[in-house]
Structure 1
């Protein structure tokens, strides 16, 4: 499981250091893709392949699933860390997530998320979390009962 929160900066070439404990779980090569909240997600090859198979199995006549497939596959790249533990983030992903300097890399269970620092701070404002807490508690309660 990926856990923790790390603050880093993108260099002028769009490279980012992946925290060592994350690299140990990811291996040298993994997938970087667009996230749903204008962040970037990192998946192990196994998890990326599993999710890709699931979304590819839906009917091509399903408009929403076609949109998800386009979002998922067009916004994904396979990346490899260099000797310093950095990845090169393509410019289209930098622009999508607005990662222009300071970033936050978080563990999110089965995947990693990369956020622009300002967006992460806004997302985590107490009032934003509290607004969602009732709904989150209901979903967790449903899962807990299983």
Structure 2
């Protein structure tokens, strides 16, 4: 499980040093792809394969499902960290997420998310108030 928030920097070659806490889980490889809210999702390969298997169950006749999968999978790249724990984020994914230099790398349970730091801070500020004031059950059985 991926937890926590880290604020690494993207180097001039578009590389990110993975937080040490995540390196063991991602050492055998990962898949990076577009995520919602203009961030990037990073999945362990096995987790990504399970998601892809689930997605294959969507009917081909469903245009929304087809379009979602096209965007989600067309941006996906597999990576293995180098000896220093670095991964390269392709230019198209950096552009999609608006990544420049300052990043937020967050653990989101089954995935890691990579955000532009300013975008993450704005998102978090907007969502924290709603989170603190929520009085109904969003996820059944959770709190």
Instruction: Say which SS state the counterpart of residue 138 (structure 1) adopts.
Output: coil
Range that drifts further, 127-136 or 63-72:
127-136
Q: Does 1:90 align with 2:111?
A: no
**Superposed, which structure 2 residues align to 1:1-146 within 5 Å?**
1-125=1-125, 127-131=126-130, 137-140=136-139, 142-144=140-142
Provide TM-score, normalisation by structure 2. Answer: 0.92
For the residues of structure 2 that align with 1:98 and 1:107, how far apart are their CA atoms? 19
**1:27 Cα deviation (Å)?**
2.1
> Deviations 1:71-98 (Å, cap 9, x if unpaired)?
1110110011111110000000000001
The total of aligned residue pairs comes to 143
**1:134 Cα deviation (Å)?**
5.4
Label 1:52 to 1:136 Cα distance change in 2 as closer, same or farther (>3 A): farther
RMSD of equivalent CA atoms: 1.7
Aligned partners of 1:10 and 1:16 also within 8 Å: yes
> When you count helix as a share of all residues, which structure comes out higher?
1
Aligned partners of 1:56 and 1:69 also within 8 Å: no
> Deviations 1:88-123 (Å, cap 9, x if unpaired)?
000000000011110011111111000000000001
